[in-house]
């Protein structure tokens, strides 16, 4: 599913603030060809709200759009139990790139989490993931991010956006230390959601990972793995 095509279509449709009959037919046709799962439908819904939010000039109206999106997530949760194709709560699944399956699962988990999101990744430059992180933060999810000290200054890095939004961020900015093992990169790529789901794999949170790289993400509810990664996150959080 190419979300960029959808965003272009929605942006053009919004220009006259109307969804014409022809546009409804075109959108219906696009959905029939591209949307296969409840997760995809949730991403489509998120894109529509993002387009509306971007076009909003009045801050009060922007808050109204955010309120409506949050209401819709309660009424029809992304990946909720009502859909036959929705991710099962206890399912362990693997996703692969190139392609957008890994991206969609990462965005899905930020949309579905309600309390906490602990992120420990080498770099974050994909704006689609960054928007999902910021959306979770605005919903009241307690987000913490650990990332590599050098990669935060890369072109396209969204780490400063997170800090500006009030998200707690730490980096391994201790390379000058003489302590053994502190001169390498913070190269993890994992995230914990509500301490009930774990995403882990080779997938960097970049557009290149989705577009050209051979990568993987595993989404698991295995309690022993969640406990192990949660302990590693807390160890690094306290160390940096």
Known catalytic residue at 73: no
Known catalytic residue at 194: yes
Instruction: Specify the residue for token string 């991010």.
Output: 145
Strand partners, 170: 146
List 5, 85, 187, 211, catalytic entry = 187
What is the torsional sign of CA 18, 22, 28, 29?
negative
For 16, the token pair is 């006259």
Known catalytic residue at 185: no
- Exposed e or buried b for every residue in 99-136, given b needs 16+ CB within 10 A? ebbbbbbbbbbbbbbeeebbbbbbbbbbebbbbbbbbb
List 170, 185, 194, 222, catalytic entry = 194
What contacts 137, CB < 8 A, 6 or more positions away? 143, 162, 165, 166, 167
**C-alpha closest to that of 171 among 120, 134, 137:** 120
List 154, 189, 211, 219, catalytic entry = 189
CA pair distance 178, 129, nearest whole angstrom: 35
Q: Which residues carry out catalysis?
A: 187, 189, 194
């Amino acid at each position: 599913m190419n979300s960029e095509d959808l965003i272009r279509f929605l942006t053009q449709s919004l220009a006259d603030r109307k969804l014409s009959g022809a546009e409804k037919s075109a959108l219906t046709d696009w959905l029939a060809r591209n949307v296969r799962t409840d997760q995809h439908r949730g991403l489509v819904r998120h894109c529509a709200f993002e387009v509306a939010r971007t076009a909003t000039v009045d801050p009060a109206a922007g808050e109204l759009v955010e309120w409506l999106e949050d209401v819709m997530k309660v009424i029809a949760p992304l990946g909720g139990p009502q859909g036959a194709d929705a991710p099962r709560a206890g399912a362990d699944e693997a996703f692969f790139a190139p392609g957008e399956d890994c991206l969609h699962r990462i965005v899905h988990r930020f949309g579905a989490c309600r309390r906490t999101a602990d992120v420990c990744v080498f770099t974050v430059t994909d704006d689609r993931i960054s928007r999902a992180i910021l959306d979770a933060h605005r919903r009241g999810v307690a987000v913490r991010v650990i990332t590599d000290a050098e990669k935060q200054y890369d072109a396209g890095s969204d780490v400063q956006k997170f800090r500006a939004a009030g998200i707690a961020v730490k980096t391994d900015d201790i390379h000058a230390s003489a302590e053994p093992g502190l001169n390498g990169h913070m190269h993890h790529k994992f995230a914990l959601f509500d301490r009930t789901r774990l995403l882990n794999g080779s997938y960097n949170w970049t557009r290149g990972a989705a577009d050209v790289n051979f990568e993987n993400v595993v989404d698991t509810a295995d309690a022993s793995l969640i406990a192990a990664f949660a302990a590693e996150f807390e160890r690094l959080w306290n160390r940096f």
